[in-house]
C-alpha cells in the first residue's frame, strides 16, 4: 500500500508542477517593462495602484508581475502578506529589498532573490492565489539605507538596485517598483532601474504643484545619468494614474483639466515626452479597496464586483495598451 | 503555502515512503495513509479538471465573465452578439446571469472556449478604451489658458461676443460644470474665473 501511495503522490506532484507552469492564455511576452511608481507626495495611492494593477494584470491578462516594495513602511508588502508571515519572512531584514542595499554597504552578497521573493497571494484557505504575482517584500530596516548612503561613492548610490536585481527582472512581463513618498536614495535607485516612471496622482492643486517639481527632478536625473544608463533606458514620466477620484461637484474635473494643461506645458518644454498620458479611467474612492488591505488581498480577489475592482480592471486594459 | 511548496512536501513524503516502505506497518499509520490516498485522488481529479479547463480556454472564459470589467461593460445584447459571431448560435436565456451560464455550456459543447474567451477579451478591452476628440480638446484647452491670461477688458473683447454653443464647448472641454439653463453671463464668468485660476496654478512653484 505505501508504494502505491508513493506513486499516487508522484502523479499528483507532476500535476501540481504542471499547474505551476501554466499561465492563463498569456499574451506573448513583449519583454520586461520595469516601472517605478513615484510621487513625493504621500497618500496619492501609490501602493493601492501598484498592488491592484499588478493583481489585475495577473488575474485577467495572464501576465507575470513582480512587485518590489521599496518603502520602509512596507505597505504593499503588508497588503499582500499577513503581518505574521511578513515578520517571519523578513526577520533581520533578510529576504527583503533591504538586503540588496545592505550587501552593497557591507561588501557582501547575502541577498538571494529566489529565497526573498514571495510567490502568490496567501488566502484564508491556507493556499495561494495568483501564482504569477510575485512580491519582493520590504523591511522596516530600509529606513537605515538613507543613513548609510554617504558611505557610497555618489555616482554608485543610485545604481545599487539595478546592479542586484536587473537580471531577475527579465523573468517577468512587468516589474512594478513601489517607492516611498520622497525622492531620496531608494526612489532614485528605482528610477535608475526603471524603463519609465508612473505617477499616481490625486486631483488637487497640491498634487499639481508637486508633480511639476517631480517632473523637473526626473528630467535632471535623466541628464545626470545619461552616460551610465543603458541606451534603451531613459527614465521618463511615462504615465499618470488618477486615484481617490470623486465624480460629484466640479472640483476634480477642473483639477484634472489643470493637470492636462500642465502636461501640455511640460511636453512643450521637453521635460516629459509627447507620449506621456493620464491613463483612464480615474480610480474612484472605494471603501472595499480600503477594506481589502485588512484582508491582505488585492481588491480583485476580495471584492471583484466593487467599483474599485472595476476601475482597476479598465485601467489595466488601458495600461497594457499604453505600455505595449 | 503555495502549490510549489505542496509539491516539494509531497515529493519529500513520497521519497520517505518509498525508501522505508519495507518497514512501515501498523493500524494508525495504515488508516491515516488510506485517508491521505483518498484525498490525494480527489486533489488529482481537481488538478486534472483545472488543467483541462485552462487548456480549453474555459477557465479564462469563466474568469472573464466573472471579471469586474464584465460586470461593468457586458450587457445581454453584447453577449448575444458575441455568441452569434463566435459560435453561430442564438442565446435562449433572457437574463444576463443565465446567458453567461448558457455561453459556457455552448463553448464547452463546441470546444471553443479559447475563441470565445479571446473575443470577450477583445470586447472588454474595446469597452474600456477612452474615446476623446483629442485634437479638438487640446485646441480648446489652449484657448482656455489664453483667455485666462487676458486682462478683464481683453477678455470681454475676446469672449463677450461668442455664441453660447461655443462657450459651452469651451467650458465642457475644460471641466467646467454647467447645465442647459446656465445663462451666457454666468458661463462667461465661470470661464473667466477658472481660466485665471489655471494660469496661476500652472506657474511652476519653484
Q: List, for residues A294-318, the tens digit of each pLDDT value.
A: 999 999 999 999 999 999 999 999 9
CA-derived radius of gyration, chain A: 20
Peptide bond into A281 cis (omega under 30): yes
Residue A175 pLDDT: 98
How many Å separate Cα A262 from the centre of its chain?
25
| Distance to chain B for A237, nearest Cα, Å | 17
Residue B46 pLDDT: 95
Residue A8 pLDDT: 54
The rounded distance, in Å, linking the Cα atoms of A120 and A135 is: 8
- pTM assigned to the model: 0.85
Nearest-CB residue to B117 (from A15, A25, A120):
A25
- How is A149-199 classified by DSSP, letter by letter? GGGS-TTTGGGHHHHHHHHHHTT-SEEEEE--SS-SHHHHHHHHH-SEEEE
Q: List, for residues B109-133, the tens digit of each pLDDT value.
A: 888 899 999 999 999 999 998 766 6
| Distance to chain B for A151, nearest Cα, Å | 31
Three cell numbers at A292? 481589502
Kindly report each contact of residues A212-217 with a partner whose C-beta sits within 8 Å and lies 24 or more positions away, as own/partner: A212/A262, A212/A266, A212/B204, A212/B205, A213/A40, A213/B204, A213/B205, A213/B206, A214/A38, A214/A39, A214/A40, A214/A183, A215/A266, A215/A271, A215/A272, A216/A271, A216/B204, A216/B206, A217/A183
Cα-Cα-Cα-Cα torsion A71, A76, A78, A82, nearest 10 degrees, comes to -140
| Distance to chain B for A276, nearest Cα, Å | 14
Provide the residue count of chain B: 206
Indicate whether B81 pLDDT > 70: yes
Nearest-CB residue to A3 (from B21, B114, B202):
B21
| ipTM, interface predicted TM-score of the complex | 0.78
The rounded distance, in Å, linking the Cα atoms of A75 and A1 is: 49
Find chain A residues with C-beta within 8 A of B177's C-beta: 249-250, 253
Say if CB B51 and CB B3 are below 8 A apart: no
Q: List, for residues A59-90, the tens digit of each pLDDT value.
A: 999 999 999 999 999 999 999 999 999 999 99
Indicate whether A26 pLDDT > 50: no
Amino acid at each position: 500500500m505505501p508504494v502505491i501511495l508513493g506513486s499516487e503522490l508522484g502523479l499528483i506532484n507532476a500535476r501540481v508542477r504542471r499547474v505551476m507552469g501554466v499561465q492563463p492564455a498569456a499574451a506573448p511576452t513583449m519583454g520586461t517593462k520595469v516601472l517605478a511608481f513615484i510621487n513625493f507626495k504621500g497618500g496619492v495611492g501609490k501602493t493601492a495602484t501598484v498592488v491592484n494593477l499588478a493583481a489585475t494584470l495577473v488575474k485577467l491578462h495572464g501576465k507575470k508581475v513582480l512587485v518590489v516594495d521599496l518603502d520602509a513602511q512596507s505597505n504593499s508588502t503588508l497588503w499582500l502578506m499577513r503581518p505574521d508571515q511578513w515578520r517571519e519572512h523578513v526577520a533581520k531584514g533578510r529576504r527583503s529589498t533591504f538586503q540588496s542595499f545592505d550587501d552593497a554597504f557591507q561588501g557582501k552578497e547575502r541577498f538571494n532573490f529566489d529565497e526573498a521573493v514571495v510567490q502568490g497571494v496567501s488566502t484564508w484557505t491556507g493556499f495561494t492565489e495568483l501564482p504569477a504575482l510575485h512580491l519582493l517584500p520590504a523591511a522596516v530596516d530600509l529606513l537605515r539605507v538613507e543613513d548609510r548612503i554617504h558611505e557610497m561613492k555618489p555616482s554608485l548610490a543610485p545604481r545599487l538596485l539595478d546592479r542586484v536585481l536587473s537580471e531577475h527582472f527579465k523573468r517577468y512581463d512587468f516589474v512594478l517598483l513601489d517607492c516611498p513618498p520622497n525622492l531620496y536614495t531608494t526612489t532614485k535607485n528605482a528610477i535608475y532601474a526603471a524603463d519609465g516612471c508612473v505617477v499616481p496622482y490625486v486631483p488637487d492643486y497640491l498634487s499639481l504643484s508637486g508633480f511639476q517639481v517631480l517632473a523637473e527632478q526626473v528630467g535632471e536625473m535623466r541628464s545626470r545619468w545619461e552616460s551610465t544608463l543603458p541606451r534603451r533606458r531613459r527614465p521618463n514620466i511615462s504615465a499618470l494614474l488618477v486615484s481617490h477620484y470623486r465624480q460629484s461637484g466640479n472640483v476634480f474635473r477642473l483639477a484634472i483639466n489643470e493637470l492636462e494643461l500642465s502636461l501640455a506645458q511640460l511636453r512643450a518644454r521637453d521635460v516629459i515626452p509627447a507620449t506621456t498620458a493620464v491613463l483612464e479611467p480615474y480610480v474612484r474612492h472605494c471603501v472595499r479597496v480600503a477594506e481589502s488591505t485588512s484582508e491582505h488581498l488585492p481588491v480583485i480577489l476580495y471584492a471583484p464586483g466593487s467599483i474599485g475592482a472595476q476601475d482597476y480592471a479598465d485601467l489595466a486594459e488601458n495600461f497594457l495598451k499604453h505600455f505595449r | 503555502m503555495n502549490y510549489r511548496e505542496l509539491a516539494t512536501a509531497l515529493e519529500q513524503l513520497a521519497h520517505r515512503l518509498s525508501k522505508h516502505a519495507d518497514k512501515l506497518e501498523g493500524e494508525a499509520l495504515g488508516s491515516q495513509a488510506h485517508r491521505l490516498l483518498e484525498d490525494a485522488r480527489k486533489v488529482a481529479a481537481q488538478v486534472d479538471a483545472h488543467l483541462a479547463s485552462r487548456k480549453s480556454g474555459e477557465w479564462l472564459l469563466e474568469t472573464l465573465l466573472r471579471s469586474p470589467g464584465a460586470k461593468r461593460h457586458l450587457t445581454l445584447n453584447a453577449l448575444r452578439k458575441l455568441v452569434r459571431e463566435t459560435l453561430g448560435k442564438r442565446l435562449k436565456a433572457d437574463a444576463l446571469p443565465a446567458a453567461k451560464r448558457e455561453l459556457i455550456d455552448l463553448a464547452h459543447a463546441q470546444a471553443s472556449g479559447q475563441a470565445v474567451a479571446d473575443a470577450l477579451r477583445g470586447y472588454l478591452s474595446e469597452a474600456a478604451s477612452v474615446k476623446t476628440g483629442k485634437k479638438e480638446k487640446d485646441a480648446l484647452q489652449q484657448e482656455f489658458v489664453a483667455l485666462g491670461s487676458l486682462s478683464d477688458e481683453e477678455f470681454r473683447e475676446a469672449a463677450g461676443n461668442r455664441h453660447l454653443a461655443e462657450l459651452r464647448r469651451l467650458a465642457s472641454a475644460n471641466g467646467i460644470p454647467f447645465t442647459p439653463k446656465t445663462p451666457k453671463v454666468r458661463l462667461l464668468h465661470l470661464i473667466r474665473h477658472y481660466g485665471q485660476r489655471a494660469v496661476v496654478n500652472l506657474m511652476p512653484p519653484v
